Amino acid sequence: MSLEEYLDPLTFLRRMVGKTASQGYLEDYQTWWEGEGKLISTAVDRAGTPWLRMFDRFGQRVDEILFPPEYWKMLRKGYQAGVIWRVFEENSLVPHYLLGYLTAFYDAGLYCPYTVSLSTAVPLAKYGTEPLKRHFLPRLLAKDETVWQGATWMTEIGGGSDLGTAVETVAVPGDDRWYLSGDKYFASNAGAELAVVAARFQGGAANIRGLGLFLLPRYRSDGTLNYTIRRIKDKIGTRSVPTGEVELRQSEAYLLGEADWGIYLILETLNLSRVANSIGSVALAQRALAEAITFARRRQAFGKAILEHPLLRHQVEQRLDDLEVAFALAWEAVRLLEQVWQENPRYSSRYHLFRLVAHLAKYWTAELAVQMAKWCMEVHGGLGTLAEYGAERWLREAMILPIWEGTPHRQILDGLEAMERKGAHQLLLDHLAPFAHPQKLEEFAARLEEHLSLPKEEQEALAEPLFRDLAIFTAQTLRHRGFLNV
């Protein structure tokens, strides 16, 4: 790959996944971003946290989030391009993740509304009743400006990792629906027309087995607000997705799936988003790398462009390799998810292989995005700290990626659980065997078994070096496989 090919997201996608990314709609989407979207995205970021207009002039509660009109044009562009509807027309998640990659290259925050909308549409399509699907699903799949958005609200003030303890929202049964009461503390895409919400059945177990996944509309059947927004949070970055505190007070909702499937459905939605987080992380890393290269070509020091200095040139070459390796890992999560996303509980062994790869990818690619964005600032020197030149934005955006959809600690612990309970490490090693060096594969197998034989506390305490090395080993092995067509 020439240096030029790393500056353009679609060219890079086509290099990495071949004909899978050779779609006209992707080219049209990128052309729009280059012509209009970049300027809108910059303006939205500089405007800061959007306003919340809680009441209209007659004192009625409206909870309207106030973005400039151009924001809504930018947001709807992805929906119209097919970031959700193509999934269902083509019966494939791949269009979502390809469009998501392009979106995140230009605006990492904007990929969040698309991600949580997908994570609303998929469980609705899989687990909703026929009347629910007929009423709500077409609205999420609209191809024009009438399209509805989705959201996934799990986290409460107690945190998001320990859902079994932290979820205090209570679901009370009614005649043909449920009524939810509680507060969601980090509600991304606040203002969405639909949300999937974790809640505890009234009188249910005080652990993950007491949870259900519910579909919650923005408006009640009588037309009034079904949830209210307490405030919009002032985040370090990703200002193109409104994150708020949401209040549920006897809010109308509909149970998705079987009552005892709740935690499985919650984790399905999270896994869809974790893969998106991985794809978005690599895209942001490419953007930071591209910005650094572009600047380094023109910045002069000691009589030549700083890109021509051996140390920086070597750093660039290392990061080009890092980008390809990280993409290989993230895209493998897409490939495996494509094979299992329509499975229901209880899942196949292939699903547990996917789970482990998704945890590895989310853990590793988010950290890469942070380090790449930090390095981009360093290449810019003092200019990189100034908001007017944009390099600092990529670090602000990147810092959120390790937190979204589960911290690095959560990925490590969930990955360990998949290895211990489902033998996912052996599934992974078998999956890598055709491409891995036999001796290295054998050494890693022995290391994994030795670690899993440790006492529980020691196993957890010493897990991160093992998990990090497993992510790198997996990514490097997959990168050498060649084209990553689905």
Give the per-residue pLDDT at 482.
63
Architecture of domain 3-140: Orthogonal Bundle (1.10)
Q: Which two tokens stand for residue 311?
A: 């140390």
pLDDT in tens, 78-104: 999 999 999 999 999 999 999 999 999
pLDDT for 483 beyond 70 = no
How far is the C-alpha of 367 from the C-alpha of 331, rounded, in Å? 16
Which CATH topology does 152-260 take? Butyryl-CoA Dehydrogenase, subunit A; domain 2 (2.40.110)
Mean pLDDT of 156-184: 92
Percent over 70 (pLDDT), the chain: 99
pLDDT for 485 beyond 70 = no
Helical packing angle, 262-298 and 310-340, nearest 10°: 160
How far is the C-alpha of 423 from the C-alpha of 416, rounded, in Å? 10
pLDDT for 346 beyond 90 = no
Per CATH, 152-260 and 263-479 having the same topology is answered no
Mean pLDDT of 368-376: 98
Give the per-residue pLDDT at 1.
60
Residue type, 347: Y
Strands 178-188 and 170-173: antiparallel
What would you report as the CA-atom Rg of the chain, rounded to the nearest whole angstrom? 22
How far is the C-alpha of 207 from the C-alpha of 219, rounded, in Å? 30
Architecture of domain 263-479: Up-down Bundle (1.20)
Whole-structure pTM value = 0.96
pLDDT in tens, 441-465: 999 999 999 999 999 999 999 999 9
pLDDT for 218 beyond 70 = yes
